Amino acid sequence: MATAQAKAQTIEITYREAVREAIRDALKRDDRVFLMGEDVGRYGGCYAVSKGLLAEFGPERIRDTPLSESGFTGAGIGAAMAGMRPIVELMTVNFSLLALDQILNTAATVRHMSGNQFGAPVVIRMATGAGRQLAAQHSHSLEGWYAHIPGIKVLAPATLDDARGMLWTALQDPDPVLIFENVMLYNMTGKLAADAGPVDIDKAVVRRAGKDISLVTYGGSLWKTLQAADALAAEGIDAEVIDLRSLRPLDDATVMASVSKTRRAVIVDEGWRTGSLAAEICTRIVEQAFWELDAPVGRVCSEEVPIPYPRHLEEAAIPQAPKIIAAAKAALGRA
């Protein structure tokens, strides 16, 4: 009885705190795990995710690095190849491009290049997305670029459970895993099971069941899509919402099952429209479920401009609930 009650207990927590607890848990479980990145130690992390961890675990486990993404990402990859389990924090997805050579040409290829003699079991975390008026060099959603690369996994935790549980599963993976944390989620609060543990990292989840249209999304856009689905429900439109969770590999089976049921789909992706992850998903739907469709697949993506600084322009540049609602109605012929 006591055990059942313990399992039922929940705690009020923010997304930021859920990520911190995931890191803390990993550091306690495995002496090979350490966190490294710019300002992760004394400053407590750019988004306060690692606040307090330096005092708890010391500078050997919580390592402040120079401002050189290529340098410290390469060091983390090397440590992983040598048997450690580093968590590398890149401050924003925009600055991850300075480490792209290390990620693409080393981490993602070393297993192939070494004839399976070496792997690089490194986890690389970074903030992504817009909405905090951080302007064009700190606000883009480039996770779709990384989802293009074979040899890595790409994750986008949108819920507290995933923010808490994906990291530990990722640290067990023999190859590189990139985790993209949307900046607009860090302050999100909710309830999390006190005994929350590892979660699956290669399956999509139906967050809202429906029969009229499939809304496929991930990361920070999930909550806008759920908001849009609630508004559509008030008008008699029953939308199903799929949270991809994993962007590489994509869970085609869950998406196709939903589309085969609803016969219509809209993809919501905070990346730019041209060459987007949304375009890849649309193509897969056409390849695998074309004869199930009753309407063209719609897309709601960011406008093809650098993310503006003024709040009203920033909001106009990225997907919002009204745009999702309009796209869903267009697919249903109710525009």
Cβ neighbours of residue 36 closer than 8 Å, sequence gap 6 or more: 63, 64, 65, 72, 75, 76, 86, 87, 88, 89
- Between CA 255 and CA 100, with CA 129 as vertex, the angle to 5 degrees is 90
Tell me the H-state helices in the chain. Answer: 2-8, 15-29, 53-57, 69-81, 93-96, 100-102, 110-113, 143-146, 160-171, 221-233, 252-262, 277-289, 311-317, 321-331
Measured distance CA(292)–CA(278) in Å, rounded: 19
Measured distance CA(110)–CA(130) in Å, rounded: 33
Measured distance CA(232)–CA(123) in Å, rounded: 38
- Eight-class DSSP state of 194: T
Residue 165 near residue 197 (C-beta atoms within 8 A): yes
List the catalytic residues: 69, 138
Structure token pair of residue 249: 């590999």
